[in-house]
Structure 1
């Protein structure tokens, strides 16, 4: 498999093809990189490091000497490009990546930009997601009904309260200090405690209906809905 190396860089295609024809007349195989990009948009030339004339690695020294001798390039032109033009360096690096090295520099640059963007945005997205504790405590959860031992019950707390149109009649309030307020069943609201244990929720210390509420629960978040499930009890919540 041939390995090409940049021997000269030109701003305009016409200059390049004179040098290319000259080298080919000396039986040196040439390859042109980024030619089409600059033919479409000449002002891209400096931005992408110019049009690159490449030759086989084994022909590099011979081609370079011929181009210098006949005035196509100066002695230190290639070295200066590689030292001073970061785009030239980027082109050199990306041209060694197996999957994309055959693509034009502009295409390789776009692919690299997308990859960098993904590397930044994907971790940032997951880091910005709320924790389970934050999902539980940032607002009360409305409780539509409770399933206990296979039977459905609708909680009805007996305390006096004012309900606005946007509020639900019964709710579970997870407080950040570890206390929890649960709806009663023809009774006052029930107070208890809660804590997270790995991926499960533990409710304990309920001052009433402890046989319904106390236990270890699995949490299932589905958009604005939350199902809290233990061995005997299922709490159906929403926001």
Structure 2
């Protein structure tokens, strides 16, 4: 039976579980210690040394290398998208807008039943162009 060593410590159990999942996906067995204690009394986390992530001794260097990988740029590039532009004036000053909402509300107040004739879309605040979505 191999000896287990601590490869990382975390303040929150969620972070430890994410790290454990990363190691599991690479085929490295991992164990989490003190997860439930910190969940019940999170103020004890620093006093106990946090939530500890253990791996067998023979996987220590590989596990530390995997946990040191920084995925920040990958996450940022996944969410990079072009800002939406107005198709009429090419302005980027676009908002979500519901056209005809006020008259529909007034009709509901006066007639007592709704008449839904409004449209959802995008509106340019510079040229007032409305595009239905």
TM-aligned CA deviation for residue 66 of structure 1:
0.9
Hey, what's the Cα distance between the residues in 1 that align with 2:6 and 2:62?
Answer: 13
- Equivalents in 1 of 2:15, 2:69: separation in Å? 16
> Over residues 130-152 of structure 1, what are the superposed CA-to-partner deviations in whole Å (9 max), with x where a residue is unaligned?
xxxxxxxxxxxxxxxxxxxxxxx
1:34 Cα deviation after fit? 1.1
Q: Secondary structure at the match of 2:37?
A: helix
1:2 to partner: Cα distance:
2.5
Alignment RMSD, CA only? Answer: 1.0
Residue number in structure 2 paired with 1:24: 24
TM-score normalized with structure 1 length:
0.29
Gapped regions of structure 2 (runs ≥ 5):
72-133
Aligned counterpart, 1:69: 69
State the alpha-carbon separation in 1 of the partners of residues 45 and 37 from structure 2.
8
TM-score, normalised via structure 2 length: 0.51
Bigger strand fraction: 1
Give me the whole-angstrom Cα distance separating, in 2, the residues matched to 1:4 and 1:70. Answer: 25
How far did residue 13 of structure 1 move?
Answer: 0.7
| Structure 1 residue 56 displacement after superposition | 0.4
User: Is 1:41 aligned to residue 41 of structure 2?
Assistant: yes
Matches within 5 A, 1:67-216: 67-70=67-70
Instruction: Look up the SS of the partner of 2:48 in the other structure.
Output: coil
Structure 1: 5+ residue stretches without partners: 72-239
TM-superposed deviation, 1:19: 0.6
Instruction: Give SS of 2:47's match.
Output: coil
Find the aligned partners of 2:35 and 2:66 in 1 and give their Cα distance: 22
Return the offset for 1:70: 3.1
Q: What is the number of equivalent residue pairs in this alignment?
A: 71
Higher helix share: 2
Query: Within the alignment, does 1:7 sit opposite 2:31 as a pair?
Result: no
**Is 1:60 aligned to 2:60, yes or no?**
yes
